[in-house]
Amino acid sequence: MVPVALTIAGSDSSGGAGIQADLKVFTAFRVYGAAVLTAVTAQNTSGVRAIVDLAPDFIGAQLDAVLDDFEVDAAKTGMLSRVGIVEALVARLTARPIPNLVVDPVMVASSGDRLLAEDAVKALRGSMIPLARLVTPNLPEAEILTHLRIDSTSTMRDAARALVDLGAHAALVKGGHLQGDDSHQANAIDILYDGESFYEFCAPRIDTMNTHGTGCVLSAAIAAGLALGADLRTAVGKAKKYLTSAIATAPGLGHGHGPLNHFAPSPF
C-alpha cells in the first residue's frame, strides 16, 4: 500500500509554499498526497496581495470527504487564518483523529505579510496544538505561542518544553531566525523535545533569498517521513537534510524570496 499524507493548508499561487509546495514534497518522498484547502491567496515571491478564506463548513466537508475514502497515515496543517477554521478542524480531528498530525503554526509569510488573525492564535494554542504529534514553530511563532523571549538555544529548549506543556506530543523549535555567537551565525539549529529528551539538528546556514515556503516544506517532509513509518526523531532529521538540500539547490525564481527546489533528492 502506498502511504497517504494529507495537507490542510492555504493555496500559494506562486507555488512556493502552502498546498502546492506540500504536494510537491509528498511526491518527492513517494507518498500519495491529498489536500484540504483552507484559503486562496494571490501572492508571489515578493508578497501576499489578497486572501480569501474558505467557509469553515466547506473546509470540514473536504476533510470528511478525504477521511471517508482514505486511510491517512500522516497529516500536516499550515495556514489556518481564522478562528472559525481552527474550530471546525478541531471538532472533526477530535472526532476522527489522524495519526501523526504535524501542526505548522503559520502566522507570517516570508515576505512579512500576516497570515493569521489575532483571535485564531488563541484557538490554535488552546485547541489545535493539543492534537499535534508535533508542532513546528519558528522563533517568532514560538514566542507568540509561549509568551517567552527566545534568543538562545537554552530559551529554545524552554519554548519547546512550554509547547509540550500546552498538550503537544512533541515540539520542534526552528532556529533559523536565531542571532548570536559565531556558531549560530554559521549554522541553523533546530531543537526537538519529545516530552522526555532534547535533540539538536544542525545544518550549515545558507546565505540566500530563496527561503519562500521553508516552514511548509519542512513540516510536509516530516509528515511524509512519518507516513513512511519513520519514528519522530528520524523523520525530523531526514526532513532537515532534505530542506537544506532544497534551499541549496533552489532554482532562483522570482524577484523576492524565491522558492526552494522541491524535487531535491528524498533522504528515504
Domain ranges of the chain: 4-248
Contact (CB, 8 A) for 48 and 115: yes
Instruction: Let me know if 18 is a catalytic residue.
Output: no
Nearest Cα residue to 37 out of 63, 65, 3 = 63
Distance CA 26, CA 124 (A): 24
* Whole-Å CA distances, 201 to 44, 150, 172, 245: 30, 17, 10, 14
Instruction: Let me know if 202 is a catalytic residue.
Output: no
Q: Which pLDDT does position 114 carry in this prediction?
A: 64
Q: Which pLDDT does position 111 carry in this prediction?
A: 59
Instruction: Let me know if 249 is a catalytic residue.
Output: no
Question: Which three three-digit cell numbers place residue 230?
Answer: 519513520
Distance CA 188, CA 183 (A): 9
- Among the listed residues 214, 225, 240, 244, the single catalytic one is 214
Distance CA 166, CA 187 (A): 29
Contact (CB, 8 A) for 86 and 128: yes
- Among the listed residues 16, 215, 225, 256, the single catalytic one is 215
Contact (CB, 8 A) for 24 and 264: no
- Among the listed residues 18, 175, 213, 258, the single catalytic one is 213
- Among the listed residues 24, 211, 225, 237, the single catalytic one is 211
Instruction: Let me know if 241 is a catalytic residue.
Output: no
Which amino acid type is present at position 186? Answer: A
Going residue by residue through the chain (268 aa), what tens digit of pLDDT does each one get?
899 999 999 999 999 999 999 999 999 999 999 999 999 999 999 999 999 999 999 999 999 999 999 999 999 999 998 999 999 999 999 999 999 999 999 887 665 666 677 788 889 999 999 999 999 999 989 999 999 999 999 999 999 999 999 999 999 999 976 865 444 567 889 999 999 999 999 999 899 999 999 999 999 999 999 999 999 999 999 999 999 999 999 999 999 999 999 999 999 9
Contact (CB, 8 A) for 207 and 255: no
- C-beta neighbour count of 66 within 10 angstroms: 18
Q: Which pLDDT does position 81 carry in this prediction?
A: 86
Q: Which pLDDT does position 182 carry in this prediction?
A: 44
Q: If you count them, how many residues does the chain have?
A: 268
Instruction: Identify the CATH assignment for 4-248 out of 3.30.499.10, 3.40.1190.20, 3.40.50.620, 3.40.50.800.
Output: 3.40.1190.20
Predicted TM-score (pTM) of the model is 0.95
Instruction: Let me know if 174 is a catalytic residue.
Output: yes
What SS3 state is found at 108?
strand
Q: Which pLDDT does position 235 carry in this prediction?
A: 98
Q: Which pLDDT does position 220 carry in this prediction?
A: 98
Instruction: Let me know if 225 is a catalytic residue.
Output: no
Distance CA 53, CA 40 (A): 6
- Among the listed residues 24, 76, 174, 240, the single catalytic one is 174
Distance CA 38, CA 143 (A): 24
What SS3 state is found at 30?
coil
